[in-house]
Amino acid sequence: MAPLLLLLLGLLSLILGLLRGRNRRDGEPPLIKGWIPFVGKALEFGRDAHTFLEEHKKKFGDIFTVKIAGKYMTFIMDPLLYPNIIKHGRQLDFHEFSGKVAPFTFGYPPVTSRNFPGLQEQISRSFQLLQGDSLTSLTESMMGNLMLVFRQDHLGERTGEEGDWKSVSMYEFCNSVMFEATFLTMYGRPASSSRHHGMGVLREDFVKFDNMFPLLIAQIPIWLLGQTKAIRKKLIDYFLPHKMSSWSNTSQFIRRRSELFEQYDTMRDVDKAAHHFAILWASVGNTVPACFWAMYYLVSQPEALEVVRQEILDILNLRGVKFSSDRDVTLSKEQLDKLLYLESAINESLRLSSASMNIRVAQEDFGLRLNGERSVAVRKGDIIALYPQSMHMDPEIYEEPQTFRLDRYIQDGREKTDFYKDGQKLKYYRMPFGSGSSMCPGRYFAINEIKQFLSILLLYFDLQLEEGQTRATVDSSRAGLGILLPTTDVRFRYRLRTV
């Protein structure tokens, strides 16, 4: 019996050992594994990533490795070290991670060089159509579409009556306006009408899908998530090529992507549609909550709101001009660029609400150089992660980090760009859009459209928070995935302004 027992015990400890995972080697950062096999620290991290990381930083210093759902993630907590991680091109790869997670989430086959030769490179190149000269036409188109939605939904007879307040939920308001205006700007409008039929249903389905987004990103199989698969199919079907081909005023960016997909015989129509759906998520998933927070902070601070309103009036040379429901406003890209206070307000609200994680995958075992003297050993397949929310909330970099300050990013009448840690100027001090080669290609458009949305609001309407509400707080359950949503919606009222 004894040899068999020994063998069984040996096997058991081997299995437990495998489940417990690896041990720290010389030169590697402190390793935190937790006691639950495979899961490691996933539950604690998922509950409140920011607090988890801050507590571990106090205990283990500014670099440590955590086992999270079978993966080993090395967090670099000191923002002075960010530049060295961001510039590590060859050994640290972004696309390995996104290339697996995005197809799983949005339901298209992985874009590998074997399945679709050259497609990944062409997709990356198409991102230029969100910037440069293309940004000007995108921005103009967005202005027209915002005015269209505002005019038909919010500047109509009933809200137009002077002195007549209308009370609504703020997130719902931002979502309905921005979702549709962005959709029209990106994908165009139907052949015979200025707006798509059934946009409300599309948006409701999108919200249902979006609620499941964190679970899909965590690679939970979609069949475990109730109706999500059917809802995703409905959303994807909206973008089938025979439908899209009848739309007009489609952005150059989306037209280019459609042309690219046509080059691949192996790509099914439903896969092309799923790629378009992924871009819908990228273009509204973060922008809507970003609009909410910028609007919320401005409406909660009436003096700040008035400073921004006067700035917009000055830039437009419209002081004293009465805005009525039959007067359209346009703001060119150049005018938007001059709105310093509005930009500071948006950047400050992004700082307060963004919790994205920048992820790179180590392509080999190597010594990751952190600065002149320091390096740490990382293993092939490990994830190196930056978590900029810790920097955004660092009181040494940002005095009273929990407070919204309108002029946080303004100094001597210009944009303030110098922020310090340990007496050293930071190269990276605000990172809602990621970093390096994987940085969000839609960031300039996003800032422009948020500026346009807020400008229209401030020019046309008086805005007030409803009394008796508690302060809006961020819902941390989506930490790591971008701009956080509010825990609960907020009520506000608005009426057409009289000068």
Q: Does 139 engage in binding with ligand HEM (CB under 6 A)?
A: no
Nearest to 433 by CA among 219, 282, 278: 282
Could you give the CA distance from residue 386 to residue 395 in angstroms, rounded to a whole number?
A: 18
Among 286, 389, 390, 448, binds ligand HEM (CB under 6 A): 286
Nearest to 216 by CA among 228, 206, 227: 228
Nearest to 122 by CA among 266, 263, 245: 263
Smallest gap from residue 241 Cβ to ligand HEM (A): 20
Among 282, 298, 336, 339, binds ligand HEM (CB under 6 A): 282
Among 98, 134, 137, 464, binds ligand HEM (CB under 6 A): 98
Helix orientation angle between 170-187 and 252-262, rounded to the nearest 10 degrees: 60
* CB proximity list for 72: less than 8 A, separation 6 or greater: 21, 22, 31, 65, 66, 379, 381, 382, 383
Q: Are 161 and 496 in contact (CB under 8 A)?
A: yes
Q: Does 433 engage in binding with ligand HEM (CB under 6 A)?
A: yes
Q: Which stretch, 17-25, 79-87, 140-148, 279-287, contacts ligand HEM (CB under 6 A)?
A: 279-287
Q: State which residue has the least CB distance to ligand HEM.
A: 442
Q: Does 435 engage in binding with ligand HEM (CB under 6 A)?
A: yes
Closest to ligand HEM by CB, 106 vs 323, is 106
Smallest gap from residue 273 Cβ to ligand HEM (A): 16
How many residues are present in the chain? 499
Size of the site for ligand HEM (CB under 6 A): 23
Q: Where are the beta strands (DSSP E) in 197-236?
A: none
What does the H/E/C string look like for 107-168? CCCCCCCCCCCCHHHHHHHHHHHHCHHHHHHHHHHHHHHHHHHHHHHCCCHHHHCCCCCEEE
Near ligand HEM in 338-357, by CB under 6 A: 354, 356
Q: Are 458 and 304 in contact (CB under 8 A)?
A: no
Closest to ligand HEM by CB, 283 vs 389, is 283
Q: Does 441 engage in binding with ligand HEM (CB under 6 A)?
A: yes
Among 105, 175, 283, 390, binds ligand HEM (CB under 6 A): 283
Q: Does 73 engage in binding with ligand HEM (CB under 6 A)?
A: no
Q: Are 121 and 437 in contact (CB under 8 A)?
A: no
Near ligand HEM in 444-463, by CB under 6 A: 445-446
Could you give the CA distance from residue 451 to residue 336 in angstroms, rounded to a whole number?
A: 7
Closest to ligand HEM by CB, 24 vs 427, is 427
Smallest gap from residue 85 Cβ to ligand HEM (A): 11
Smallest gap from residue 415 Cβ to ligand HEM (A): 18
Q: List the structure tokens of 123.
A: 């997709």
Smallest gap from residue 181 Cβ to ligand HEM (A): 11
- Identity of the residue numbered 339: L
Closest to ligand HEM by CB, 485 vs 496, is 485
Closest to ligand HEM by CB, 49 vs 496, is 49
Closest to ligand HEM by CB, 238 vs 453, is 453
Q: Which residue has the tokens 């991102």?
A: 127
Among 66, 273, 290, 361, binds ligand HEM (CB under 6 A): 290
291 is in an annotated binding site: no
Return the bridge partners of 386, or none.
Answer: 76, 358
Which residues are part of a known binding site for heme? Answer: 440
Binding-site residue ranges for substrate = 286
Residues near ligand HEM, by CB under 6 A: 98, 130, 282-283, 286-287, 290, 354, 356, 358, 432-435, 438-442, 445-446, 482-483
